[in-house]
Amino acid sequence: MRVALSQMNISFEQQTGIITGAASGLGRAIAQRLSEKGVSLALFDLNEEGLAATQAMLPGECMIVPLDITDESMVKAAVSKVADRWGRIDLLVNSAGITGKTNIKSHEVDTENLLTVFGVNFMGSYHTSKYVLPEMLKRNYGRILHIASIAGKEGNAGMLAYSASKAAVIGMTKVQGKEYATTGITVNALAPAVIRTALVDAMPDEQVRYMTDKIPMQRCGTLAEAADLALFIVSPSNSFTAGFTFDLSGGRATY
């Protein structure tokens, strides 16, 4: 019988955390798991209505912070607001992400769109970690999880902007994981294959088939599976892994 990690006895006593992209999809699913464990949460997203909907689903304490994570000054102010409210930040999950235009060859990529994708997927994660890390260093404890993608490991044809931005996230994870390895702060990434979310539903069918055909399990992952693994990665139990990209690809990536 499969026992969900969310049902295991993993303690998050008195912890607080920030989740980006919390208005929907994986960010919302992770927020639900952590809230069930008693973590006080700050939910970041541009979609204020979606944030309010997520907040209404959570059993625990949370605050919503509508913001554009590509705006460094907004992120700095938001992190300061969270630290002021709870006096600590234990967790950061960077789940905000966009695919941009897909199913196009590299020479057809619109530079403006590529920069937009990098702004959300890479710079957003850079901004939040930049300002959360000093808060974690005050207590020599923290867990940071960057949501990357199998596309960042292997590159998906027709998805230059998305694949390259997620590769950059994986590179940042390796650097940060090593830089803070002796501080009690771990920085890791999660590289899902196709997880059934609104983001995937918005892709062309041809693009989704291209990705699912590569998965030995021959199916999409579920939000519950992704949230369960994320729960472990940011838990106190995950104390000897840093700079690592966890696989969630149904057997597609075994390295």
How far apart CA 88 and CA 72 sit, in angstroms, is 20
Do the beta carbons of residue 154 and residue 113 sit within 8 Å? no
Closest CA to 245 of 236, 233, 237: 233
Q: Number of helices and strands (H, E) in the chain?
A: 10, 7
In the DSSP assignment, the letter for residue 108 is: G
Angle between helices 160-179 and 111-118 (to 10 degrees): 30
Show the tokens assigned to 173: 């994870």
Do the beta carbons of residue 96 and residue 23 sit within 8 Å? no
User: Residues 126, 141, 162, 180: which is the catalytic one?
Assistant: 162
Q: What are phi and psi of 56, to 5 degrees?
A: -65, -20
Per DSSP, the three-state class of 93 is strand
The residue to which tokens 């952590």 are assigned? 34
Closest CA to 30 of 41, 219, 188: 41
Annotation says 126 is catalytic:
no
Residues with a known catalytic role: 162
